[in-house]
Structures are given as C-alpha cells and as structure tokens.
Structure 1
C-alpha cells in the first residue's frame, strides 16, 4: 500500500495534537505544522511524523509545508487564535488584523495550496476547524466569530468548486473543549487545564466539557472512506450546543406523565 499523508496545522497542542495522534494511528504519515517548535518536535517524534514550523498567515510557509508533504491525502486546517478580545468600541485594530490573518487568511491559504496538490491526483479530504461562534451570536470574541463565519462560507464555496476533482471539503465545529487555547483565556495559563475544565463545567450539555479526543474522532471520520459521500458540510461535535441547546422542558417533569 502506498503511504497516506496528512497535514495538521495548529498540530502541536490541544485539538490539533489529538488529531495528529489519531491520524497517525489511522495509518497516516503526519506532518505537524505549528509555530510552537518545542511541542511540535516532541509530538512529531512520538508519533513518527515530521514537524514543520508554519505560520499559516504567511503564504510562503503554507506553500513550503504542502510542497514538503508530497502527495497529500488529508489536510486538517486547524490553526486558529481567539485574538482580539473586549468590547467592540475598544477593539485593537492590530490584534483584529492578526486574528483575521490567522483564522481566515490562513484557512484560505491552506485551502489554496491543498487543492493545488490534490487536484492533479483527483482525490483528497480537506477539513477545517470552524466554531459555534460563527453561527451563534455572543459565544465568541467579535473578530474571532466573524472569521469563523467566513470560514464556514469559504468551506461551502470551495467544496462546490472542487467536488468535480474528487476533493471533499468539510468543517468540524467543536464545542467547549478543554485545551491550551481555552485555558489561556479562562485560566490565563495554557497549561492550567484543570481550571479551564472547572470554568466550563456548568455549561456542557452532556455532563462534561469536551476533550480534544472528541474532535479527533470526528476528524478521523471526515478523513476516511466512510465519509466519501460527504462534502460542503459542517460536522457539529459540540454536544448539541449549536443546534439543540434547549432542555426539552415540555417533555419532562409534569409533561412526562401520561
């Protein structure tokens, strides 16, 4: 069997690391792309992959990453930042520009160069990390939410173009996931996952916050043959947060009695 190759951006920690490990177990040679060099090298060594320092906002980095991968089967465009925070009238324009550069421009560049190498082979799966913030108002920082709404539109638009070339493009929408990214905001320390988990404990709909491994299962599905008939869609791995947030009050309590 020929070697299958996958790229994971933002792959050094959190959701990206869990997905890199899962894809490695699924039989892919994984390129871990990130700006976190120490963590990225360590993970790549553990899974028998390769670390490539990549800032997804820089086209030369993304182009070089894809060229280094060679024949490419899966590209998981996961790198993202919360970026600019605070009230809209206090938005730091430089931070907003960086948020857009990483989350939206970065995703565009990943799609551009993934399609560039997948199209001649007439196959490939591209997966993008979206967010409930791109769908539901008030659950994410302003600029972050705007970029994730843009990502959702970009996925649908590109999926429509490249399906004729045998390439599938989908997004996965994580819910409340305990990771270094959420810990950096909720605990002001990316290593303090316990504090982040406690902060998120009241909100999950299935009795616990999500784990990066929950998203890895969804990404594994979208990367594999079982999802061969799926493109241009959003896979919500968010315990129903986006589309089923209610408590079904009229089916419980006194309404449950017959």
Structure 2
C-alpha cells in the first residue's frame, strides 16, 4: 500500500469516528449536508451565525440517530473561526471533512449603483469567511495528514450573473482559493474541491424574486433552469457527501457544477 493509500485509510477508519465541520449549517444546503453526512456516519459540528437555526439542525441530526454539536460563529471574524476549529478538535480530536459553505447573496444592482458597503458585506462573508475557514482548517488537516475540504462557490463563479457583480466576484474568488489550496496541499493527503450550485430551492434563493422587484430589473435570462426546476438542497448534499468520501479520493482542485445544465 502506498503512502497516499495509508493516508486515505487513516482518514476514513470508522473505528476512529469521522468528523465533519459544516458552516452555514442552519438551513438550506448546509442543513441538508449536515443530515446527509450524519447519515453517512460523520459526527457533525454545525456552525452558523444564527443560534436558533443552528441548534435546530443539530436537533434534526439527533432525531435521525446521529451525533452533532452546534457552535455559534461569525465566519468573518478570525477569533470565531479559531474558536470553532479548536472546539472541534477538543471535542473529537480531528477534522476529516470541512464543508466551507457559509455565504450571502447581494442586493441586485448595476455595478455603477452598487453601494460600497454592500460590496464589502458580500466580499467579507463569501471571500474572507472562506479564506479564514481554509486557513484554520488546513493547518489542522496538515498536522493530522489527511482531510477533504469542499467549498461552496456558485455558477456565478463560472460565469457572470447580471446585476450581481459583487457576488460574481466573490464566487470567482472562492474558486481561486480552492485551486490555490488544492495545489499547495495535493501531496499532503488533503483534497480541496468546490461545488457550483445553480438555482437551489432554499430560503436564500426564495428571496431573489423580491430582490429583483425591489431593484426594478429582472434579467431576461432569469429563470433559466434548463432542467426545468430548481435543485433540492438534498441533491446538492449528495455531491458534498461524495466529495467527503473516499469514492472521490482522486479528485482535488475540481470545480463541479451541480446546476441542472444552467451553465451549458
């Protein structure tokens, strides 16, 4: 058995107990991923800014026979990210999987009308939050010699989205961070990939029509769900679960569209 295979076997030995950290765990894709990973045998550390929704996710995990804990955190604050990563290691001794998922949409606006404060808000959560999560978790995974990281980008990271310049820029940045981390840690037993959901039926995307109405503009290509519907969060969670598992052990640095053909 090669050194790489030894690392993989070590990272996914059921006797040691697998541990997954999920940010943005209070709803939507994050909650669905928590439930799916729990079903696959992971102990879940659910991280969210909203305490009530985060605790609800952990309660759902428990109701389905899984194990998890909730940690409240603002992913844009380095001290909060340091706290939830340290608390995970103190509780479980390791981090096998990190679903770096927390993010926000922007208010629809042409670039010339985009408020600087709105640009900063979106970049702060989507880019700084992703960076800080990577920074702290990679250090832990590098020390332990294994791990899988899945970042949530977007179809807006592959192409531009009309009236969403800040969001588009932020998700392109997440893809850049994913590729950079993947190549830096490719020989260290750590895989880093990104998923790019298109339209997903979550509370976040349900707010889009109202945001468009408030902006006074609806892009002519919206909605353009080629498959005929939005994705269910559970369908995105299936890809997260795959990338978390040894079934994807030869995949790193990949940017995977889970978008019903939206970007075709």
TM-score normalized by the length of structure 2: 0.84
Deviation digits for residues 125-183 of structure 1 (CA, Å, limit 9, x no counterpart): 00000111122123561101001001111100110001111000000110111101111
The size of the alignment, in residue pairs, is: 232
Distance in structure 2 (CA, Å) of the matches to 1:140 and 1:131: 15
Query: 1:229, CA displacement in angstroms?
Result: 0.4
Higher relative contact order (CA 8 A, sep 6+): 2
Match of 2:111 among 80, 88, 97: 88
Deviation digits for residues 40-89 of structure 1 (CA, Å, limit 9, x no counterpart): 11111221311111111111111111111111000001000013431111
Q: Is the 8 A contact 1:10 1:34 kept in 2?
A: yes
Query: 1:185, CA displacement in angstroms?
Result: 2.6
Cross-structure match for 2:216: none
CA RMSD in angstroms comes to 1.6
Deviation digits for residues 178-224 of structure 1 (CA, Å, limit 9, x no counterpart): 10111123246xxxxxxxxxxx9953222221110110000000000
Cross-structure match for 1:51: 70
**SS, match of residue 205 in structure 2:** helix
Consecutive unaligned residues in structure 1, runs of 5 or more: 189-199, 245-258
Match of 1:205 among 210, 214, 226: 226
Distance 1:72 1:181, change over 3 A: same
Match of 2:256 among 232, 235, 243: 235
Does residue 144 in structure 1 map to residue 167 in structure 2? Answer: yes
Match of 2:46 among 8, 12, 32: 32
TM-score normalized by the length of structure 1: 0.86
Q: Is the 8 A contact 2:110 2:163 kept in 1?
A: no
Consecutive unaligned residues in structure 2, runs of 5 or more: 1-14, 63-67, 212-220
Cross-structure match for 2:209: 186
Q: Is the 8 A contact 2:224 2:262 kept in 1?
A: no
